[in-house]
Structure 1
Amino acid sequence: MTVRLVRGVEIASVAKTAGVDSIYVDLEHCTFSLDTTSQICMACLAVGIAPFVRVPSMDPSLIARILDGGALGIIVPHVESRAEAAAVVQAAKYPGQGKRSFSSALPHLRFNSVSAPVAMQAINAATTVVAMIESAKGVERADEIAGVDGIDILHVGANDLSNDLGVPGQTDHPLVREAYRRIWEACRGYRKHLGIGGLAAKPDFADELVRMGARYMTTGSDLGFLLGAATDRVAQLRSAYPVA
């Protein structure tokens, strides 16, 4: 579930009750502070929901602060090359896999004092790195991006991708479908996972992709769920009790 509206830690329990596996705080498209993001991430850790954060840029200092704040994964938009994917991994992983600076007393470890080698190995293993493919260039280089050690998921942003391919809003257009096929082939070749998003209005196409092999799906946003449920309920009431 994408989170870009609810700023309180209650969203973690809502996600748990709803049955989702993970949330991601969408810092690319919302105005949450790092503190708010960290509080939500820590609340998710406490109830057993994996907290991810979609970062607004590839800034390594920002990525490190987000992960230190409790995130178990980062989602990086607009990745278009092997070099960019490798730089993201370097920022997200501790030595052994990357160059992230180590900080003791992490919320992931409930602030327990753990030796640096043990903590770094455990956090590296637990941290998911998601590269978003949202452009024709990214599709062309999907194979080299998938080949970067430390990248776990290639997540397709269908809306931005359709825009870049010249078919805005047509998220199941043949050009988009072909892009998904190429990205899936890259994932399969390197034993990485395919992620899909922006297809809430195209459930049949989403189902095709899951059957093809996609294993990470963005189900919708907190705003979308709230607005959708409220709109349906009001329509139901107006139908049942029409105003004379």
Structure 2
Amino acid sequence: MNASNASLRNGVKEKLARGETVYSMTSRLVRTFDIASIAYTAGFDSIYIDMEHSSYSLEAAGQVCMACLGLDVTPFVRVPSTDPHFIARVLDSGALGIIVPSVQSAEDARAIVRAAKHAPLGERSVAGAPPQFHYRSLPAVDATQQLDDATMIIAMIESLEGLEAVEEIAAVEGVDILLVGANDLSSALGVSGEMDHELVRNAYRRVLNACLANNKVLGVGGLGSRPDLIKELVALGARYVSTGNDISFLLAAAIQKRQQFA
């Protein structure tokens, strides 16, 4: 977005609109802008910063989001809850979307939309010259429309309650992706860690059907160690893939390197 009249872009949203599959990495460990460059060089479409399962600060998250924006790597943040004030601060810090854990009802989903979108769809407060525009000032009506068009809402389905309400959640206007959290969902189904269990497969099928019926995207999470299952789900229609986090990537590479000298 170099030209003064350029529109705000979200590369993930554009690729999904073309029916392409997007691949994301999670940042839990690296708190500096370097992780954005690593994601870019590795060919990832997106980073999501995990503020649910890490001690990431809002300041550090904002710095990584800004670095991502400059590289056309779409920055998302997984927030720890549906707190509307925290969601607004995350988005005002440069994120182009939020990932919300354990969405359990349509009302949960509507509350998230109200927090993340401006009027008339939501209740997000208007912030002047946001980082997504590299601090350019735009007329409020233009800025809010562009932000709302570019900002994505990713609802995680990872509980029995969320699975039972998935059709209603998928029908909520403003939700873009239903991301199945396979680790927590498999535990809730009583088959913890059995990612290829028929109960888990059936859960994915149910979420996929809800997505197809409501023009939403199925997301795959928690299966980074099972690329075979990810490929199977992509073949079925999943289009957003969370591949794993920087801790697991670093540890796997470190173990492999050390074993070379055994």
TM-score after normalising by structure 2: 0.90
Q: Distance in 1 between matches of 2:224 and 2:133?
A: 35
Report whether the alignment pairs 1:93 with 2:93.
no
Q: 2:213 aligns with which of 181, 189, 196?
A: 189
Residue 4 of structure 1: how far off its partner (Å): 0.1
Report whether the alignment pairs 1:41 with 2:99.
no
Q: Which amino acid aligns with 1:207?
A: K
Q: Which sections of structure 2, spanning at least 5 residues, go unmatched?
A: 1-24
Residue 162 of structure 1: how far off its partner (Å): 0.5
**1:1-244 alignment, distance < 5 Å:** 1-238=25-262
Residue 198 of structure 1: how far off its partner (Å): 0.8
Q: Distance in 2 between matches of 1:31 and 1:202?
A: 27
Q: Distance in 2 between matches of 1:200 and 1:5?
A: 17
Q: Which amino acid aligns with 1:226?
A: L
**Alignment partner of 1:28: what SS?**
coil
- Paired residues in the alignment total 238
**Alignment partner of 1:166: what SS?**
coil
Q: Which amino acid aligns with 2:114?
A: Q
The structure showing larger relative contact order (alpha-carbon pairs under 8 Å, at least 6 residues apart) is 2
Q: Which amino acid aligns with 1:31?
A: S
Q: Which amino acid aligns with 1:142?
A: V
**Alignment partner of 1:204: what SS?**
helix
**Alignment partner of 1:218: what SS?**
strand
Residue 203 of structure 1: how far off its partner (Å): 1.8
TM-score after normalising by structure 1: 0.96
Residue 201 of structure 1: how far off its partner (Å): 2.0
Q: Distance in 2 between matches of 1:218 and 1:237?
A: 31
Moved more, 199-208 or 107-116: 199-208
Residue 165 of structure 1: how far off its partner (Å): 0.7
Q: Which sections of structure 1, spanning at least 5 residues, go unmatched?
A: 239-244
- RMSD over aligned CA atoms reads 0.7
**Alignment partner of 1:99: what SS?**
coil
Q: Distance in 2 between matches of 1:150 and 1:120?
A: 14
Deviant stretches of 4+, over 3 Å:
none
Q: Distance in 2 between matches of 1:159 and 1:140?
A: 17
Q: Which amino acid aligns with 2:211?
A: C
